[in-house]
Amino acid sequence: MHLLAIGTRKGLWLATSEDRVAWELDGPHHPMTEVYAVAVDPRRPRLIVGTSSSHFGPTVVTSDDLGASWQEPDRAPVAFPAEASLERVWQLALTPDPEVVYAGTQPSALFRSEDGGRTYSLVEGLWEHPHRPEWDAGFGGQAVHTILPHPDDPRRLTVAMSTGGVYRTSDGGGSWQPGNTGVKAYFLPDPYPEFGQCVHKVARHPAVPDRLFLQNHHGVYRSGDGGETWTSIADGLPSDFGFAMVVHPHRPEVVYNFPLVADGDRFPPGGRCAVYRSVDAGESWEELRTGLPDGFWTGVMRDAMCTDTATPAGVYFGSRSGEVYASADEGDSWQQVAAHLPDVVCVRAAEV
């Protein structure tokens, strides 16, 4: 069965399908909570969901029966030291070890779970980094929104935040080094600083772990050395601004992007809903629009686009106007899965 988890500003919806053509939508789960982060672990299977209530605050809940029931520990699963408080969980990342799960938060911090995503402890090395007092808040807040565990070495990990940039560890989180060389921060006096970039998303394929793709606040980049240096791959895109960056599940050289008009507008150029695909690691791009609408005056956020692991691969995205689109043929054609949902901020797909 194919499962699509759709996190919105007012709850979680779960869509299921046997053929990725007909979808059955169930929800809302956790109504009137913001759901910015979802992880689907098909090995159990388990859903891990970051929710935020205006009344009860933020937390992480889990389900081992695909949403039929939900569990939350008696004590807050993610908690800061006394000098800070959790505002939101922005990212939940699985690792090759099913018991180890990472959470990225606002304010910018990393937490680690060793019980399958039920409870978490602060990764103090990043929290105590000397750069932290200078990390700033973008329009969406100051948050770790990208977590990339290394597929072969559990001591290596890459994170990205707005604003602050990319940071890497090779000793399990004890020490962290910025990895932003070549990424432009046009809004700073030094446009190529050591850190301070407003990174929107970073993605990679586990088969080529040292090749990363980055969507910046202005700029689309590729790294071939694990994030130490970056090269622009924005040529061929109608805009170098956007939030989403997704890598094909089986073909490491295939990457997907959703360009938006920069800054104040933040909708597709001309209102043309279009996904862009590169089949050569960003050297060239092609527009994918079959089945997608015109008059699309909305945006696609950093975690509102994903792929599944089927063959051929499925590609999915949700919009801030509550529409969700799916492609069962790697982006060549699209169909609408849902409409009139609340603001979609997170989409995750899995085979369970």
pLDDT digits (tens, 9 = 90+) for 300-340: 999 999 999 999 999 999 999 999 999 999 999 999 999 99
Q: Residue 321, class by beta-carbon neighbours within 10 Å (0-12 exposed, 13-18 middle, 19+ buried)?
A: middle
Residue 94 belongs to what domain range? 2-351
Of the chain, the percentage scoring pLDDT greater than 70 comes to 100
pLDDT score, position 331: 98
* Residue range 157-204, pLDDT digits in tens: 999 999 899 999 999 999 999 999 999 998 889 999 999 999 999 999
Average pLDDT over residues 211-232: 97
* Residue range 89-102, pLDDT digits in tens: 999 999 999 999 99
Q: How confident is the model at residue 140 (pLDDT cuts 50, 70, 90)?
A: confident
Average pLDDT over residues 62-75: 95
DSSP 229: B
Q: Residue 310, class by beta-carbon neighbours within 10 Å (0-12 exposed, 13-18 middle, 19+ buried)?
A: middle
| Number of domains composing the chain | 1
pTM of the model: 0.97
CATH number at residue 31: 2.130.10.10
Coil, strand or helix: which one is 125? helix
Question: Distance between CA 274 and CA 278 in Å, rounded?
Answer: 13
* Residue range 262-312, pLDDT digits in tens: 877 899 999 999 999 999 999 999 999 999 999 999 999 999 999 999 999
